Amino acid sequence: MSDRTGPRTRIPRTATTATAAATVLAATAALLVTAAGADATPEQPDRTGTRSLNASLASAADAYDVPRDVLAAVGYGETHFDGHAGKPSQANGYGVMHLVSNPSRHTLEQAARLTGESVARLRRNTDANIHGGAAVLRAHADKLGLDAGDRDDLGAWYPAVARYSGARGGTARLYADTVYRFLKKGLRATTPDGERVAVSAHGSLRPDRSGVSAAGLGTKSEDFPDAKWVPADGNNFSAGRAEKLDKIVIHVTQGSYAGSISWFQNPEAQVSAHYVVRSSDGEVTQMVRDADTAYHARSANASSLGIEHEGYIDDPSWFTDAMYRSSAALTRHLADAHGIPKDREHIIGHSEAPGNDHTDPGPHWDWDTYMALVKG
């Protein structure tokens, strides 16, 4: 995960340091929780006993008339079905369905209003969280005018999925396309508890992309031709550099690909990275030009390039061969272009950057394989 150096206060958070937006969240959290009916007591038992994740998906799909496979594909795309014990993502999202509470997006509080569950329970209880995600998806479908017949059509849910992302323009389309790639190809996954979850392949599925903008997705990077160019908000980086570029910093997003891109486009984030790499196929998006200073590694910002990798440091399922190969090709290109030695003194993890307290890319990142690929 990225961070910056500056006068704004930063609050430590699990596996990474929170973004500056956390200060706003800290000041407003009590009001948000109270409004949603939360209390200060420990997590309560499941309302219907202990449910498996498959049972929760089926129950939530039935309760809110959301196709079970759409709900599952969204959850897998967000977290690989891992709720991370109620710990927040980089964008302050929680649970399998990544219900978000930050200054610009409040799906966690929306889910509380729609389901009657407390914010505290939605953060930590997987069954409640999945029902909350289904309720938010259904609310988007209702606003789009999907009737009962439409809701039976998986393709008709595409605009609702795009809205669920909370992203703008082409980034929302990028998010929805990822979900629909899982739906078309199918998926098989195993939860951290060992439960197997499957989504059938819907090979003939035709998503309704009408009304979902693709603006910006066709733009190519000038620094790395194989990357898309989706610029970060100007509040999240600085033009130019104050120091010589001499290192590349490897990060893990603590969130999804499209979600991280959206977060770096949010002026409240005050963090960014030069590049973001997708887990499933190694797609690369550039967000800050090489010549500019992204806010990703504190005191190393001015002298480094930052590459974010989709996923979570405690879940090795995100670190695919496609991701390693694509990222290594990017790192090799950047090292050659900027005269950076291809060794571990100059290609480092976020945890190794001077003055940082982060732990990414974490113990599951295979440095030996990665550096072998970087060196060709």
Catalytic residue positions, numbered:
308
- Rounded-to-integer distance, Cα 173 and Cα 325, Å: 25
- Rounded-to-integer distance, Cα 279 and Cα 282, Å: 6
Is the Cβ–Cβ distance between 276 and 285 less than 8 Å? yes
CB atoms closer than 10 angstroms to residue 240: 9
- Rounded-to-integer distance, Cα 343 and Cα 246, Å: 11
Q: Residue 199's beta-bridge partner residues?
A: 187
**Residues 6 or more apart from 292 whose CB is under 8 A from it?**
237, 238, 239, 240, 241
State the alpha helices, DSSP H only, in the chain: 21-35, 53-64, 68-79, 107-115, 119-124, 126-143, 148-151, 158-164, 169-185, 257-264, 321-338, 367-374
Peptide bond into 354 cis (omega under 30): no
